Amino acid sequence: MFKKYFIVIALLAIAAMMSAACAPSAPPAEPETVSPVEDVVLDDEGIALSGQLQIAGSTTIQPLAEVLGEAFMDMYEEVSIDIQGGGSSVGVTAAGEGTADIGMSSREIKESEIETFPELQVITIAFDGIAIVINPGVEISTLTKTEARAIFNGSITNFSEVGGPDIPITVVSREEGSGTRAAFEELFMRYKNDAGEKVTDLIVDSALLQQSNGQVRTVIAETPNTIGYLSFGFLDNSISGVPIDSIEPTVENVKNGTYSIFRPLNMETGGEPSELAQAFLDYILSADGQAIIAEDYITVD
């Protein structure tokens, strides 16, 4: 009897072991989830860009630089760019003295500025035409450079003297130190006299002086009988551009060589630029940067 019980117990034990061996194993533990590291945007040399740039100078270049700066900061979220106006002379001085990482000037750099800041590096980022503009209520078909100079030096005081209506002329101009004014004086007000000497006529004292291209545009758009000059980048339907020698002031005519009244748009650094400043300048001269410039200005290529 005992033997029978032993056999039964043994069989039950063997059955239990077989059942345990055939039972499915427990699923493996889920691996620990690791959050991915955020992407870091690198420059062309694999360097992560961060830091702040201070840029100052030409009010002509300022709005263009702001658009370029926004595009650059979209690419590099750790970069901050602060852009201030002040005029071309301020831009050269700020770069030369190191109070700004990059200066902006919408004219040629003067020899006296190079002498003062011999380490200055100048980078032309674009070209910009200068247009004579009038209030839309004034109709003039064209002007010669000589006629334009005579208007701005005060020799011609009525639009009827240049084929326009019989109304007195009010001249609007940029202030001293403006790159747009310096370029206008170079391109329109300078000429050779009968002795073959280079002479620069002064802009009439009664001119309404403005602190930016935007202010010039607003004054001319809203004030009857006015005439002034503007960067191509500020031309719009609120004012009328005047053809010079029957050539319309357009980017296309600058590029095809028929409109010769244009100037460089420069950025300057006081010696070798920082890594961040160089990266921003490289971006401006890249295909993407020049595509932005081409919307209102003339590219360097």
Domain ranges (residues) in the chain: 51-128+264-293, 129-263
The CATH architecture to which 51-128+264-293 belongs is 3-Layer(aba) Sandwich (3.40)
Return the pLDDT at 3: 42
Which pLDDT tens digits describe the chain residue by residue (301 residues)?
444 444 444 444 444 444 444 444 444 444 443 333 334 445 555 567 999 999 999 999 999 999 999 999 999 999 999 999 999 999 999 999 999 999 999 999 999 999 999 999 999 999 999 999 999 999 999 999 999 999 999 999 999 999 999 999 999 999 998 999 999 999 999 999 888 899 999 999 999 999 999 999 999 999 999 999 999 999 999 999 999 999 999 999 999 999 999 999 999 999 999 999 999 999 999 999 999 999 989 999 8
The amino acid present at 193, given as its one-letter code, is: N
Distance CA(116)–CA(118), nearest Å, equals 6
The CATH architecture to which 129-263 belongs is 3-Layer(aba) Sandwich (3.40)
User: Cβ neighbours of residue 41 under 8 Å, at least 6 residues apart?
Assistant: 48, 49, 75, 76, 77
Nearest CA among 151, 189, 146 for reference residue 171: 151
Return the pLDDT at 18: 47
Q: Would 51-128+264-293 and 129-263 be classified into the same CATH topology?
A: yes
Return the pLDDT at 301: 80
Instruction: Look at phi and psi of residue 138 and say left if phi exceeds 0, alpha if psi is from -120 to 50, else beta.
Output: beta
CB atoms within 10 A of CB 82: 12
Task: Let me know: does 188 contact 261? Beta carbons within 8 Å.
Answer: yes
CA torsion angle 287 107 197 169 (round to 10): 110
Cα dist. 148→76, 87, 132, 152, 190 in Å?
A: 46, 24, 8, 6, 12
